Amino acid sequence: MSLNEQILKRLKRAGTGRVFTRSDFLDLGSTPAIGMAIQRLLQAGKLRRVARGLYDFPRKHRLLGELSASSDAIVAAIVRRDGIRLQTTEAAAANLLNLSEQVPGRIVYDADRRRRSIKVGQRTIEFRERSRRKMATAGRASGLVIAGLRSIGQKQVTPARLVHLKKILKPADRSRLLKDLRYAPAWMHPHLRFIAGQKKSA
């Protein structure tokens, strides 16, 4: 099986909507060989360049025409390639947790290291370097909760919002809140203990 065929096989096995980088194929051949194979697939129209170093299957909708790659898929590819850790921004976390109806107008991620923004069509995906403390809970539900509460602010934390968070979190995620108290500001501790089921809300 040729290198082109091996790459296509892996792409098809991953399904539609996934974004790839050269590093996803390094087990199949050398970096130059992978690069040449990708160029051949691009020229044949079997692969599409999403942005510099990012590729996906060209997808078309019967009514909408060619579909662009999702921001989540692009970010996932960058995380795999660069080994960076990302955390949803505070405003986005509040929206995801239904603590706020405000939808962030920009696509921004907090990161554990500096990285330039990426332009994809009309979109710009930004990576904002944050402190180690704020990135310590990246990828965990506790990090999402801490970011969401920080976004709405101490004065906007109500019993109803805390009950809501307690209901939507899984038991394991509620327990994790207690272990991650050290990464949250002091005013948030009583609220996190309540969500974890340890005590009544202050």
148 and 191 both lie in a single domain: yes
Residue 57 lies in a domain: yes
- Say how many domains are in the chain: 2
Residue 199 is predicted with a pLDDT of 64
Residue 34 lies in a domain: yes
The domain boundary, picked from 25, 42, 67, lies at 67
This prediction's pTM? 0.76
With a cut of 80, say whether residue 104 has pLDDT above it.
no
The domain boundary, picked from 22, 41, 67, lies at 67
**Composition of the chain by helix, strand, coil, percent to 5:** 50, 15, 35
User: Residue 66: pLDDT band by 50, 70, 90 thresholds?
Assistant: confident
Q: What is the spatial distance between Cα 94 and Cα 167, in angstroms, rounded to a whole number? A: 16
Domain that holds residue 157: 84-196
123 and 178 both lie in a single domain: yes
Residue 76 lies in a domain: no
Kindly give, in sequence order, each residue whose CB lies less than 8 Å from that of residue 130, ignoring residues fewer than 6 positions away. 87, 110, 111, 112
